[in-house]
Structures are given as C-alpha cells and as structure tokens.
Amino acid sequence: MRKIVLLSLGLLLTLLASLSAQQLPSTRVEQLNGHFRLSTSAQDWEVTHHFEKNGVEYWYLRRMYQGIPVFNQHVTAVFRKGELLHAAGAPTDLKNVQATKAAALDAAAAFAKILQYAEADTGGWETAGEHRGNGEFVVYRQEKTGVRSVLRRFWWQEEDGSLRLVWAGAAPSANHAHWWEVLVDASNGDMVQRFDWAAHDHWELCLEHSNRRSAAPVRQEQAATVKKKGDGAKYNVFALPLESPNHGSRSLVTDPADPTASPYGWHDVDGAAGAEYTITRGNNVYAYEDSNADNAPGYSPDGGASLNFDFPLDMGQQRPDLFQDAIITNLFYWNNIIHDVFYHYGFDEVSGNFQQNNYGRGGQAGDAVNAEAQDGSGTNNANFATPPDGTSPRMQMYLWVGNVYDVEITAPASIAGEKQTSRAQFGKQLSELSAPITAEVVLADDGVDTTTNACSPLVNNVSGKIVLIDRGACTFVTKVKNAQNAGAVAVIVANYEDALLSMGGEDATINIPVVMIKKSDGDAIKTALSNNQTVTATIRYDARALDSDLDNGIIVHEYGHGISTRLTGGAAVSSCLNNEEQMGEGWSDWFALMLTMKAGDTATDPRGIGTFAAGQPTTGVGIRPAPYTTDMSVNGFTYADLPNQGLSVPHGVGFVWATMLWDLTWKFIDLYGFDSDLINGNGGNNKVLKLVVEALKMQPCNPGFVDGRDAILAADKVLYNGAHEQIIWDVFARRGLGWSASQGSSNSRSDGTAAFDVPPACRANAGYIIPPAGANNAYVGGDLPAFQHNYLGTTAANSNPGTAYNYTYLLTTVEAPYEILAVEPTGNFNWTGLPQGSYTVWGVSYDKGNTQTIETYLSGKSNVSDIQADIDNSVICAHLSNKDKNGQEVMVELKDPLEVEKVNQLGIAIYPNPVKDYMLRMNAGQATGQMLRLQLWSLDGKLLWKDTRRAAQVEWIQLPESIRQGTYVLKVENEKGEQSVLKLLVQ
C-alpha cells in the first residue's frame, strides 16, 4: 500500500510540473479569443485538464497573469474536428488589471494558516515535494491518514476586477465533517475564501414543506484490456435496481463486475489475473466500518479465497451493528456497480473517475473510493468528499436513529415499558456506557417559581437517582448541571409537547447521560410520583437503527456528488460546485432515480428520495418538498420558485433541477422506450443518462441553471447531432427555463428570471436554415429551383426555376412568423399531411466549390437580417423576408378536408410520434375520465380503425398491424362533440 501512495505522489509531482508545459494550440486560442472577444496567447491559459474522446477534445483552462494562474477564472472549451463546439465561462480582460504582488508569507507559514482555517489536525504533516518559480507549489502529506495537500500560489480576482496574490491548499477538518480548500492572503495570512470539497446532505434536515400539493446507438469506446473470465465472486445484496430493503429482497449475484469498466474484477489492484484482496476492497472502492470516526479503515468482511460474500441479515432486529458483513458487502457492491455503469456513460479514467489502478488508460490513478460504513461521526446523514483526480474521495454513511428507546420504566407496572427518546449533544453519550443505569426516578425541585424546571440549584435529595426535569425557562445545560451538582446519575427531560428534539449545548464538565421523553410519558411518571408510587427506570443505549448503507438511493446520491464534482470544470479542480445556484444535489437525486428505475414505472408515478432511511413506505413523499413526477399537480415547481426561501440551499435548489431532468427523462423514454440494461441498453433512459453526463463535462465552473441547460443542448449536438433540441427546449420551457430565462449571477439563486418560451428568434419573423447532408456549411446564391407538389390530387409548379445549382427546399408559413415546416434536398416535397393554409417555398442553393459559411452567405442577402449562428454554425436563426431575391413570392395553397391539427379542443397529446411497433401512448389531457371515440383516417379520407373507451390520464393504444408506414390523421372526440385532430406518422 505504501508503494502505491509513493507512486501516486510521484505522478502528482509530474502532473503539477507539467501544467505550465502543456499549452493550448494557437488555433484553439484564436477561436476562444473570437468567442469571448479577448486578445490572448497560449501563455495566457493554464491547461488544468485535457483529453480527447470519440473525436471530441475537452479543454479545461484557467487564465494566467504574469505566469501565475487566476483561481476563479475558469473556461471549459469543447472542440470537434478542430472547430469550437462549445465554450463556457466568463473570462475577463486582464490587460489593465490592478494587481498586488506583496508575498510576505512563505509556503510553511501559509500552510500553517490554511490548516488553522481548515480546522484541521496540525500534526504529522511532512513535505513530499516542491517546485519553485512563478508556478510555485509544495506538496504536503499527513503520515497518519496519507492525505495529500498541494499548496500553490494563485491570483484571486475581486468583484471590482483587481487581483491579489494568495496561497491555496486543502485539508480535512479534525472532526471529519469537512475537507476545506482554503485561500489565504499571501501578504498577511488572512483568509480570503474557503470551499468545502465534502458535499453535506444533512438528510435529516432536508424535509421541506410547501403549500403546493430511434436513432443509431452511440457506443462507448472499447477498452484496451478485456476480462478473460469471471473471478466467481458472489455478493448477497439488494441488487440493482432495488432502491432499498423496502423495495425488494436480497439476491445472490455472481460475477457482476463489468469486463470493460473493471476488466480484472472488483478485488484487483495490480492489473494481473487473480484478486489481491478477499475483503471488500479493490480497484474501485475500499469499504469498511468506521464506527470510531477516525477515518482509518476498520473492519471489512472477508469472502475467502472463493470471494463468497454471502452473509446473513435480519432486517427485523434493526441492529446494523450485528450484521456488518452483509451491510458492508452491500455498500461495496453498490459503489462498484455505480462505477461500472457510469463508466459506460463517460465517467472513465480520462474524465477523472475513481480507480486505484487506471490500467494504462489515462487519467490519474490512486483514488479508489474510501467508503466508510456505519460512520460514527454522526447520525441520520451521509456525505461525499471529492478531492481532485489522483486523491481518494471519502464516502461516509451513517446510521439512522429516528426512533430510539433509551428509557425503560421498570416500575410501577401501570406505566412500565420502553419510552421513545431523543439524545443530548452534550454529557456522557449512551454509546459510551459500560453498563445500563438503573435507579429510582425523582422529580426535580429547585424551590423557585416552576420548581420542576431545575433552572436553579436543586433543594431535594437526588443523590444516586435519575432526575425528571421539565423543559423550559433555561438551557438544557443549566438544568443538567444543577442535577449533576446535586448528585444525580442521569437526567430525563420531559418535553412540553408530544414531540422529541435533539438537545444542544456545550459543557465538557457534564459527565452524566441526558435523554428527552414526550410530554405524555413525562405526565405519566409525574402522576405516579404524585400518588406516592416508586418509579424506577433503566437508561441504556438503544442500538436499534436503520442503516443508510442499505439505502441504495442514498449511496448513488452520495457517489453522484463525486461524479458531478470531478466532471464540472475538469478533474483537476474540486471547487467548481460551491456557488449558490449550483445543481449538485439535483444531479445526485436524479442519478439515484435513474439507477433504481424499473420496467413498468410511469412518468406520473411519485418517486420519493430517502424513504427507507426516513422510515417511510415506498409511496412516501421522501425528504424533498414534493416527490419527483411529471405530474404538475403533484410537483409543480419551476425555475420561478428558486428564489423562494422555503427552498433551501443547496437541497431545494437541486430539487428543482432534478425535477427538470426527470421530465426530460420521460420525454426520452416516450421517444425510445425504457431499457433495463443500464450498460448495453439503447432506450430513452440510456440516452438521456449519457446526455446529462456529457453535459457535466461541457458546463462551466460554478454553473447556474441556464448554464446547465445550455450544456445539455450542446451535449445533444456532440452525441446525437442535435436531434433532441426541440424536446429539450420544450421540457425546460415547461419548468420556467425557456429561451428568455435569465440566470443572473450563478452565485445567487434569487436574481434569476423564469421564462416559459422556446427560442423566440425562430418563432418571430425567423426560421431555421439547415444545411443538407455533406454541405460543409457552404451556400451560394441562385434562383429558386423548379419544384412540384402533389397534395390530395392537386399539383402546382414553381414558375421561376433555376438550373445552376443543387438546392435545399425550405417550406415556411407564408406570413411572419416564418416557421420552417420542412427541409428537403433537391426533389419533390412530400406535401401530404400538412395542415391547410398558405406556404412560402424557399430555395437555397449550394455549390460544393464555395467555402462560404452559412452566416457569411446569408449576411450578404437583402432578404435576411438579424442572423444568429448556433453553436457549431450548423444551424442559423435568421429573420427572413417572404420574397426571393427577385422580389417574387413563391406560394402554394393547400386544402385539407380533414382539418389536420386545426383543432385540439381536448388537449390530447400523443407520443412517440413517429409511432413504432404500432404502440401509441396518449395523454388525455383535460379529457381524462371522459368517454372518447377514436378514429384513424388516411389522408385520402378513408376510415381505417376506430375505438371507444373511457380515457385514463395516460394509456397505451394498440394500432392494427395492417397499418402501413405513412402519414395518418387521428381524430379524438368526446360525447359533447369536442375534438382533437392530430397528424400521426407510422414507421
């Protein structure tokens, strides 16, 4: 193990020393300059991370000034075929910047300050390497934990644009709750800023309240190594896709390691045949218990030489401490499953995933996940700390003790029994008791005002007894200290309502245990005492609990923080998700939903997060303001709700983002179906998961909602050539993140403006101009070509043919807005199925010998204005006139006896459209519950099929298999004669 650590240090030093050596090519610099309107050279950019995959280059950059990087000046740039596809960030012009370069603090003094502000253990740190010069850095390592910290000089840009010199470094806090990256002023050591690498979910605090009730498959690159055969490993777990023990039973799975993502199995670290570990440790994760909260590996179950991790588990006992073998096995299995699944969606070595050995496939090794089961540093919680690539992240999973029974009344018999309690944060912790405390219970008497609240020294004899004290009038610490001073061996606080709360306070001199009981239980004890009955009780540690190591949704959620942190801003930076409008909690919730989907789930099903650990049924609302569903009547949250102080930061903010992603998921499933195979599947869930992971790589450091939306649109171009642009806009517009939405500053969730529109430039006096296949974006002028249309027996021809060029036809509405209705290569339009009305035909000519871009061509035309080029210049939004260059209108009249799409009185929606496999999904809209008559007509007026049914909100419709491919009309009519008439394409 020590050799691996030393090797990782060597790789880290090599990486850091090479940062200044790797440069952005000048051709890429020129494109960035054009995009951001800057004037920079390659020396003005530090490359923090770079990789190329499937012909796409990913560059993660930081601005430089006088040879020193600017900490908060990040850019993400994506290139395809040498052309800038997407750039994100907001770099500023540093030409006339004011900078202070006083650097009185040396590295050692600066690191001491950083440890202080990080609340870290200051002992045991040693220098492991250093580099001098402008790019000065020092690597420190703590001997006990193996944690590394890179201390480096940066500029910090203030809000007024000025720069000041700082030192930056990171260290875990001594209480294990944080992993702070701290910036200190290089002149005086004052703290400038700090960022927490640990994503704290505070699950018990997350419950919020609201008064609102198929395209060709895209394949992953094959790895250089492949697994020859399985290692025979067996794991008895709540297997994928089960969310928790409430959602199904355990099963014994054999050889679940994916041959591409984990080619040597889950227990390998050296890349050779044969497992290095027979415990729950391997290349992707080291899972162990950490009940003493020292962040050092504790117990791990051993599967023996046969790697058989089949251990007993009795959920009925709610004693996780008795079943550590089974529980840690489940944690190990799910960490590995998540690793393997997301490997196929783009979270691999070069992107910065978590592996001890990267098998020569790029990226920084030495960073398998340290997964700490039954962590003793807290309860009802979980977290994930993500340092940069090459340093192991830490997952901490806690016990959930929502209902504990630490008090048992043993006499009198009339009130005997266990009583539900909550615990104090001060005093002797019950888990530290060497034996239960059994004693007589007496009521406090301080002789002043309300004598039972113990706000003054006690006047009655309580020596050797358990004291019952009423809540109120003074602090819990004051009450307990008065009881302890009077000789009490323990304190029971009776609440003034039938509820429990955690009792806060600090006093290191209090060394007796303290618990709270409900008012009704306190009243029963006081009644017995008033009747001169002797009350006795036993106080013990109630070990019954639920274990988040069995809540697979929480495990995925936490691991998801690692994915979003590593991918946003590049794997070398871990401080890119600390702004107020960042969506980290949303991606994590959504990842959990995606990996626990099942065949038969529907879009409107309510999905709660954390129902098992929260003690809720599977149908519970979970710990968010509303369950996840596309049903706006159940979850109607939109971007407009983001400023609502009832939505917390970051959980409420993330919840709104995950709601949007969940809507997008079901749009993709409507289009492509659901595939339960998360690795090899090609369903809508597979495609959208790949899309969102790709978008994480393309968004800027410290993104807001608009940044995230734009990254998804850009990712769609990379993966699917923009095929889903329309549905992406529709989904986000429905939830208030439309074209006109304004993000404001991503550092504030309160300054954004919601909008529910799709791109207006393509609706108002404009249309999409799309190049034909192979056009290379080059267009030249020419007259309109000859064309013919054939629609319901009528024909028409263009009287102004041109002959010099090949053409692409564009069919638009005749009057503004000029919406593009069809784009066809040279030849006849398929006019069938168009609504009745008047249209303008445009002919845009193309000459392969011309190298003009679309934008250049259109900008020279008299009938074009307000050109807006899309991100890769493959689509232009341009305002058009309704005349050709000769001033001649080319217009056709279409008659539509079936009134296709003229009316949709019932609000019916059908999808997928085109229909595949004769299965149609209908959302009945406002016609839900009504008796409907359905008719399928051909375009020549023949009735082909009919049906009558009472409409559910969403249902499947089976069309007859005699229907051939083509365009049809579906008419839906209710008993009142109200209709929806919809065009239907059958493939």
Chosen domain end from 200, 225, 244: 200
d(CA 716, CA 730): 14
Contact 778, 682 (CB under 8 A): no
Contact 167, 107 (CB under 8 A): yes
Q: By C-alpha distance, which of 505, 501, 502, 481 is closest to 491? A: 481
Indicate the Cα dihedral angle 121, 124, 129, 132, nearest 10°.
60
- Whether 642 and 732 map to the same domain: the answer is yes
Contact 624, 651 (CB under 8 A): yes
Res. 314: pLDDT tops 90: yes
**Residue 802: which residues within 8 A CB-CB, separation 6 or more?**
782, 783, 784, 785, 786, 843, 845
Residue 178: CB atoms within 10 A of its CB come to 19
Query: Which carries the bigger pLDDT value, residue 895 or residue 326?
Result: 326
Give whole-number Cα distances, 167 to 15, 123, 451, in Å: 19, 20, 57
Structure tokens at 908: 């019916």
Q: What is the pLDDT of residue 325?
A: 98
577 located within any domain: no
Q: By C-alpha distance, which of 109, 258, 245 is closest to 185? A: 109
- Whether 239 and 174 map to the same domain: the answer is no
Q: What is the pLDDT of residue 920?
A: 85
DSSP class of 399: E
Q: Average pLDDT of 207-224?
A: 31
566 located within any domain: no
- Whether 789 and 817 map to the same domain: the answer is yes
Q: Ramachandran region of residue 54, left (φ > 0), alpha (ψ -120 to 50) or beta?
A: left
- Whether 69 and 183 map to the same domain: the answer is no
Three-class SS state of 715: helix
d(CA 731, CA 665): 10
Structure tokens at 541: 């540690």
User: Predicted confidence band at 906 (pLDDT cuts at 50, 70, 90)?
Assistant: confident
- Whether 706 and 739 map to the same domain: the answer is yes
- Whether 765 and 813 map to the same domain: the answer is yes
**Residue 163: which residues within 8 A CB-CB, separation 6 or more?**
65, 70, 94, 97, 98, 99, 100, 155, 156, 157
- Whether 778 and 889 map to the same domain: the answer is yes
pTM over cut 0.85 = no
- Whether 426 and 441 map to the same domain: the answer is yes
**Which amino acid appears at position 65 of this protein?**
Y
The 3 state secondary structure assigned to 733-750 is HHCCECCCCECCCCCCCC
Chosen domain end from 515, 539, 559: 559
226 located within any domain: no
227 located within any domain: no
- Whether 389 and 411 map to the same domain: the answer is no
pLDDT in tens, 44-92: 999 999 999 989 999 999 999 999 999 989 999 999 988 899 999 989 8
DSSP class of 951: P
Tokens 């018990």 locate to 204
533 located within any domain: no
Query: Which carries the bigger pLDDT value, residue 458 or residue 505?
Result: 458
Res. 181: pLDDT tops 60: yes
pLDDT in tens, 974-984: 888 888 878 78
Mean pLDDT over each residue of the chain, to the nearest integer: 82
Alpha carbon 543 to its chain centroid, in Å, reads: 33
Chosen domain end from 176, 200, 224: 200
Contact 627, 635 (CB under 8 A): yes
Q: Average pLDDT of 237-247?
A: 96
Q: Average pLDDT of 254-267?
A: 96
DSSP class of 279: B
User: Number of structural domains, the chain?
Assistant: 7
Q: By C-alpha distance, which of 487, 493, 484, 479 is closest to 521? A: 493
- Whether 501 and 416 map to the same domain: the answer is yes
Q: What is the pLDDT of residue 546?
A: 85
Structure tokens at 141: 């390592």
Planar angle of CA 815, 820, 826, nearest 5 degrees: 115
Contact 537, 438 (CB under 8 A): yes
Structure tokens at 750: 């309160």
114 located within any domain: yes
Query: Which carries the bigger pLDDT value, residue 237 or residue 610?
Result: 237
- Whether 257 and 376 map to the same domain: the answer is yes
d(CA 594, CA 553): 10
d(CA 182, CA 115): 8
d(CA 146, CA 151): 16
Contact 964, 924 (CB under 8 A): no
CATH of the domain at 968: 2.60.40.1930
What are the residues facing 52 on neighbouring strands? 57
Helix (H) or strand (E) run with residue 130 in it: strand 125-131
- Whether 504 and 380 map to the same domain: the answer is no
752 located within any domain: no
Residue ranges making up the domain that contains 169:
99-200
900 located within any domain: no
